[in-house]
Amino acid sequence: MEARVAEQSSKRRVTLTRESILEAALRLCSPEGGGQLTFSRLGKELGADPTAVYRHFRDKDELVLALTDLTVQEGMELSRQALPDGPSDDWRAWLTVTAQSVRASYLARPALAVLAAARTTASPAETHSVEQLITVLHRAGLPVIEAAECYRALLDMTLAMTQYTAAFSILDRSAQEKDEAAWAVKYGMLPEDEFPLLHQSAPRLTELFRDDDGVFALVLTTFLDGVAARIERARKA
Amino acid sequence: MEARVAEQSSKRRVTLTRESILEAALRLCSPEGGGQLTFSRLGKELGADPTAVYRHFRDKDELVLALTDLTVQEGMELSRQALPDGPSDDWRAWLTVTAQSVRASYLARPALAVLAAARTTASPAETHSVEQLITVLHRAGLPVIEAAECYRALLDMTLAMTQYTAAFSILDRSAQEKDEAAWAVKYGMLPEDEFPLLHQSAPRLTELFRDDDGVFALVLTTFLDGVAARIERARKA
DNA sequence: ACCTGAACACCGTTCAAGT
DNA sequence: ACCTGAACACCGTTCAAGT
């Protein structure tokens, strides 16, 4: 015989607010929160009926866009904390820290990153950070239009890499293990005569498989080397 | 009174094969196919009960991995057709064509790109293309380990950007329009004194919003500029 | 005004029943 | 051996009913 569960859920009416919903939703999107944002989980987290959320957000998309905005805001705050002096003359350091801050902010909620990384909200937090990014690139030496193009490339690359990592991280454990085994086992056992370079670099590649941060740092630094070359060219012209 | 639908579905047993399932699944993943891969749609496409597919694939993940493999294979074939001479001494042209071929192959099936871009199958098609990529970077002047790191960065960036574009493309029409409006309307109306550079470059940014290929070309060429700088440094050392 | 709960059209997956 | 179809535990969303 099992212990009877008391009427713990206390079917009394709960009062929701936009803020309490967003807070609960952010918790659900985190890895500890189970990493899945659904109405039923959200209802449980809030102690309310799942459909009660519809009184505050028209649909799931509206909820997701609101969460995106909070996350972008947090990312820019993180960047400001890391570099309190703001964009100094070292454009490269500032872009690196900013890209990594936005990425970190999203990766703290992988479920949101998957849903929202490709979205544009045109919120104040977003527009201000875009102006700042273009300004830094322009001051570094790029013409305005080229600075804008460069901002777009850098941001999309950062968000895309973030979504990519987040998508993998919320896969079933079994699917993740399947991929890890592919790297560790198959790539480690390739015949040396047919795959000489792969055979030689397999240990490093297997290492990188677990190191998303390392891969992103690699992509970012290579990209910024390219930006530096572009600035050099613009200065000469 | 409506016309009666004849027993068109002919509830006779259908014989499925691994190949016919994969073919039908690829069709469903394409934009014309509705852009969603589900068992019920797959059953309808095959004229069979949705659950019949389980006799040929253990679960959806197995199906997705098989589709991924076909897509990677097709991408490498596309690259070979575009550059029949293989990786000549122009490493940059070859990497550009290869990255764009893999991307094009995935973007022909956005639903698959979203599900599979971050996966590793270690299939023959995959391992051979990896060896080839590392070889090209090594011949261009990078030490083996650095060439492997560079391959990983380039491939992940390409797949991430592909997944990012695919994820947006399979969104509801309403969600896409919401984002487009954010760019076109809000970004176009920002006050010039507060957002001087954004105001100036808004037309170009709105243009880029619709131009995924353009943004990817921009990211890729900047990244490859960075690789060129890296090769230069390696040669001097 | 806002929360509840039944209902609906979907998902992936399991399993007993058919052929 | 392999396809069918009912069933289950989930999704997002709608709507009438409660308070």
Q: Residue B1 class from Cβ within 10 Å (0-12 exposed, 13-18 middle, 19+ buried)?
A: exposed
Nearest-5° Cα angle at A196, A195 to A201:
100
Q: What is the structure's pLDDT at B82?
A: 94
pLDDT exceeds cutoff 90 at A10: no
Count how many Cα atoms sit within 13 Å of the Cα of residue A34 in the half-sphere of its side chain.
11
Q: pLDDT higher for A27 or A183?
A: A27
Q: Which tokens belong to A159?
A: 């968000």
Task: Answer yes or no: are the C-beta atoms of B35 and B64 closer than 8 Å.
Answer: no
Tell me the pLDDT of chain B averaged across its residues: 92
User: How much is the pTM?
Assistant: 0.94
Give B153-199 pLDDT, tens digit per residue. 999 999 999 999 999 999 999 999 999 999 888 888 999 999 999 99
Which of the nucleotides lies closest to B37 (Cα–C1')?
A: C11
- According to DSSP, residue B31 is labeled T
Check: CB of residue A70 under 8 Å from CB of residue A26: yes
Q: Quick one: CA torsion of A55, A59, A63, A68, rounded to 10 degrees? A: -160
pLDDT digits (tens, 9 = 90+) for A138-173: 999 999 999 999 999 999 999 999 999 999 999 999
pLDDT band at B4; cut points 50, 70, 90: very low
- pLDDT, one tens digit per residue, over B13-25 is 889 999 999 999 9
B93: distance to nearest CA of chain A, Å?
A: 16
Q: Note whether B229 contacts A228, CB cutoff 8 Å.
A: yes
- Structure tokens belonging to residue B100: 């764009």
pLDDT at B94: 96
Number of H helices, E strands in chain A: 10, 0
pLDDT above 50 for A94 = yes
Helix (H, G, I), strand (E, B) or coil at B106: helix
pLDDT digits (tens, 9 = 90+) for A186-221: 888 999 999 999 999 999 999 999 999 999 999 999
Instruction: Decide if pLDDT at A7 tops 60.
Output: no
- B 6-45: CB within 7 Å of strand D: 11, 13-16, 43
Whole-number Å distance, CA A55 to C1' C2?
7
pLDDT confidence bin for B2, thresholds 50/70/90: very low
Nearest chain A Cα to B233, which residue? A225
Residues 6+ apart with CB under 8 A from A231: A140, A141, A142
- DSSP H helices in chain B: 18-29, 39-46, 60-82, 91-107, 110-116, 124-139, 144-169, 173-181, 196-209, 212-236
**Minimal CA–CA distance to B195: which of A208, A5, A134?**
A134
Residue appearing with tokens 């490269």: A92
Measured CA to CA, the distance from residue B91 to residue B85 in angstroms comes to 12
Is the pLDDT assigned to residue A5 strictly greater than 90? Answer: no
- Ordered by where they begin, the domains of chain B are 1-57 (no CATH), 76-236 (1.10.357.10)
Residue A14: band (very low, low, confident or very high) from pLDDT cuts 50, 70, 90: confident
Residue A164 belongs to what H/E stretch? Answer: helix A144-169
Q: Residue A2: pLDDT above 50?
A: no
State chain A's mean pLDDT as an integer. Answer: 93
**So what's the pLDDT on residue A88?**
80
Cα dihedral sign for A219, A223, A228, A229?
A: positive
Give the pLDDT of residue A67.
Answer: 98
